[in-house]
Chains A and B, each alone.
Chain A
Amino acid sequence: MVALAIGAATTALLLGPVPLADLRGTGIVWDLRAPRAVLGFLVGGSLAVAGAGLQALVRNPLADPFLLGLSGGAALGAVVAIAFDVAGAWALPLAAFAGALVALVLVYRMALAGGGALDPRILLLGGVAVGAFAAAVTTAIVSLAEATELRNAFLWLWGGLATASWDTVLVVAIYVPLPLAVIAAAARPLDLLVLGDEPAGYLGADVERVRRRVYVAASLLTAAAVAVSGVIGFIGLIVPHIGRLVWGHRHRALLPASFVGGGTLLVLADTVARTIVAPRELPVGIVTALIGVPLFVLLLRRWTIT
């Protein structure tokens, strides 16, 4: 598995829209390709871990980090920043992050059934509702505002690692370890949550606390991912399932495996997105789906045969 990841990273460095030979002497491989591979790994890994945590948390195998309404909030934040012409090189990612956080707080408040317990059904439904509402407001702003650039703003949302640089990598690398650690520490309780809230409590899990922490941590990871690279779907949904098929359900193994798997998948997908129609580039989200679905179907068949 780790070998696969290393292989993916090397390929990402060697392959690109421009042949390696032409790049000798320029700083491009170091300045652009390397940070892009590292960022891809961090973002893909974070999305996969967030997805795994959420699936256990809401007890739904179809849960995906982007069901929480965060991408809708991020899009709204970004569009507002563009519409109001907010200056600054980091304006877009920060505004998107802020928008995602607002969505997080809204859904969180909605799901607090009273007494500090997050109701998983309301998390999902609330996420869909907040996301839909944000999308509606975003569309309204785009249709009413005069700037034609706003229509281009949606392109960003389709996902891409274009903003990768060592600066971005530094920020993300400082930010993600804490939420990742929180989810990792919850590995055991997450195993228990699968049985149901009551049985999990009887087996020693502090269900309310775990739910709050994992939800916030997963949302923070997703918010950062969207702010930096738009909506890269599919990784958070499918990589945990692939992980379960290969490594089983225990989160102690599943979470690290998801991280490595998600990172590898995204780096591979990005390499393909950059090279397959060179000099043009495909949105990465399309490639993750094209690679991930057949992979998943293959594993699923192996599993149903046993």
Chain B
Amino acid sequence: MILRLVDVTFRYPGARDDALAGVSLNVAPGEFYAVLGPNGSGKTTLIRVALGAAARVGSAEILGRPVGAWSRRELARLVAVVAQREDNLFPQRVRETVLLGRYPHLSLWGGARAADRAAVDRALAVCDAGHLADRWIWSLSGGEYQRVRVARALAQEPRLLMLDEPGVSLDVRHEMELFELVRGLVDRSELAVVMVTHHTNLAARFADRVLLLAGGRAVAGGAPQDVLTRATVERVFAWPVALQQFDGRPQIVPLRQSRS
């Protein structure tokens, strides 16, 4: 087990309610796990807890050790996160920003070695962003930039990759490319992926397992066809839907409100 969350309950300081209540999650190597749910259901909080935000109740373990027992650097060598937002204050080139992903591997005073540069090149190649290596970040399109961020995460050479809503503001082509990329990574290596996304249908098609959250609670977890039933989806998303099958996976079609 790469990541184990057991009965995690978490509340932000000063908040009235728990952001997560009694949530459990097991992620094995080579598994693509999607986390779904309506806005505010605690998806981003899940990532934070997995990476060390202290839960009030319950435990989070990475590779069998409690998250708090790992130092930040050690953790960064195991788990890579593509967060929802990042700042881009100073103009940088793609290669430089991907190199930041190697920092958990660099010693305090040592510089970037050939091995590090090779890792950067590999990561860029895997993400099909090798041709972007010398471009300025600000000149990239949204899709290209996301690929670069994934490359940076891969440069960390993690065993677990977590992505928080990576497809937001990407068009059809770029979003599909992203999902294909992640699926390919999982298939080709032992990399485990946890992806928080609101794109339920794509998650259903590409992920191995799905966790559905609502109001901080885990509603259902498991294979997509087991979790995404019509009754469950309608209850969680509070909207009438029809279910169809595509590629052997359930696809949700939201229905229009009946006119009176």
Contact = CB atoms under 8 A, between A and B. Distances in A.
Direct contact of A and B (CB under 8 A): yes
Interface of A: 59-61, 114-115, 185, 188, 191-192, 194-196, 198-199, 201-206, 244, 248-250, 252
B13 A196 contact: no
Interface of B: 13, 51, 72-73, 75-77, 79-81, 83, 85-90, 92, 96, 100-101, 103-104, 106, 108, 111, 156
Contacts of A201: 51, 72
A203 B156 contact: yes
A203 B83 contact: no
A180 to B, nearest CB: 15
A198 B90 contact: no
A204 B83 contact: no
B103 A192 contact: yes
Given A61-B90, A194-B90, A195-B86, A202 B96 contact: no
Contacts of A192: 100, 103
Given A202-B51, A204-B76, 14 more contacts: A59-B87, A115-B13, A185-B108, A188-B103, A194-B90, A196-B86, A198-B86, A202-B76, A202-B80, A203-B100, A203-B156, A204-B73, A204-B103, A205-B103
Given A115-B13, A202-B51, A206-B72, A196 B87 contact: yes
Contacts of B103: 188, 191-192, 203-205
Contacts of B72: 201, 204-206
B106 A188 contact: yes
B83 A198 contact: yes
A203 B90 contact: no
Interface of A is mostly: loop
Contact of A196 (B79, B83, B92): B83
B78 to A, nearest CB: 10
19 contacts: A115-B13, A185-B108, A188-B103, A192-B100, A194-B90, A195-B100, A196-B85, A198-B86, A199-B81, A199-B83, A199-B86, A201-B51, A202-B81, A202-B83, A203-B100, A204-B72, A204-B76, A204-B104, A206-B72
- For the complex of A and B, list the 6 residue pairs with the smallest distance between their C-beta atoms, beginning with the closest: A204-B76, A204-B104, A202-B81, A204-B73, A196-B87, A199-B86
A61 B88 CA distance: 11
A185, A195, A206, A244 interface centre (most CB from chain B within 10 Å) = A195
Contacts of A203: 76, 100-101, 103-104, 156
A185 B96 CA distance: 20
